[in-house]
Structure 1
């Protein structure tokens, strides 16, 4: 039973959960497609998206995400050996795109205001430390910020979750994890005994559960639906 005075501790993922990456994804796709064709791929946008989505759906990328996606797409549409070259060429565009296009999702402030009035909040995210600049404006909402680029641990490694739990001063059974990916957010959190909320407004909505730990406690269409999902979990806890 959760202590009523404290309520649950709610952890959020960042990318495609609290942070909208759709503009960044459009920027990345355009630059990547241009490079692919510059190296002779001869692939149009529709077929590129089909290849990209199949790679995501079939779990051929891990927590490296963009870097692994580049290698996997290149392996499909180009002869061997081009992946590293293209990854090196597009790296400055990725860095620029993160700075220019990463932003908190529409309604994020309202969601955080609502939840922080009732619960303690934190972050567990696979992000480089440059994300801390974007977080400054929202820093007041978070008691814990466990970022892979700072912690030198990455989800789904349970140690990054355990580090966040230690910083929060909570047990896993008192916490809820909100994220978009089944493999790096939902499954590892479930395995530790946390409750989970999956946000489907993400490219990783393409993922389908493969094992029991990948079924979230609750699933929502958008970030705006998260507070109600949290309330449903808390209500079930009190029964």
Structure 2
């Protein structure tokens, strides 16, 4: 039986850098419209500090926006600012999410040797990107939080994916960018782990032993070689 390789989507298989740039520019405009008076350099310093210090916990872009509001605006503005940002976020997800450079080659290369799956914290609209790319056919399991009502790092979402794959955690590999939602829960379950650092969450540093990935790579195209090493094929 082939080993099973699970991927995260955002900032792992899917590049979000164009979306992040779009979000940052629009968010800065909105913040200053509410009286923040902050430039891009200082905005990014605040944003990065929030990510590095884990102030959003396991949260998403919405939680990040709320925390930035707390840091640069008077109390009580967060929800209003987030509502103002909602259209830009939805439009950005639709038009600016794209597969990372080399993703098609990586997926096709791995598909020859392994079974593939997805475990991702995403809304269901991400399925349209998978289908339009033609890459969805390579994934036997697609466990998307918006569809199943569970979110990483909840071990239940991993258990759901493993059950659908019909595999024991020890026979699986998790590839992701976040230490808190990808690497730690997968390590705890006994999966092998590969961290991709082409992500804003490269700012995270391990805080406990479970957050130490077995392999760390700079970009998605380095993943196949890392998996080969993990499995002792090199």
TM-score normalised per structure 2: 0.98
CA distance in 2, matches of 1:221, 1:130: 27
Aligned CA RMSD, in angstroms, stands at 1.0
Of 54, 60, 79, the match for 1:59:
54
**Superposed displacement of residue 139, structure 1:** 1.0
Residue 171 of structure 2 is matched in structure 1 by: 174
Matched, 1:146 2:139: no
Residue 8 of structure 1 is matched in structure 2 by: 3
Equivalent residues, number: 232
Runs of 5+ unmatched residues, structure 2: none
Of 36, 39, 47, the match for 2:34:
39
**Superposed displacement of residue 203, structure 1:** 0.1
Of 121, 136, 158, the match for 2:116:
121
Runs of 4 or more above 2 Å deviation: none
Per-residue CA deviation, residues 129-167 of structure 1 (Å, 9 max, x unaligned), is 000000112111100000000010000000000000000
Residue 22 of structure 2 is matched in structure 1 by: 27
Residue 208 of structure 2 is matched in structure 1 by: 211
1:97-136 alignment, distance < 5 Å: 97-136=92-131
CA distance in 1, matches of 2:79, 2:99: 31
CA distance in 2, matches of 1:56, 1:197: 20
CA distance in 1, matches of 2:138, 2:229: 21
**Superposed displacement of residue 8, structure 1:** 1.3
Per-residue CA deviation, residues 95-123 of structure 1 (Å, 9 max, x unaligned), is 00000100001100000010000000000
TM-score normalised per structure 1: 0.96
CA distance in 1, matches of 2:188, 2:59: 21
Contact 1:63/1:126 (8 A) holds in 2: no
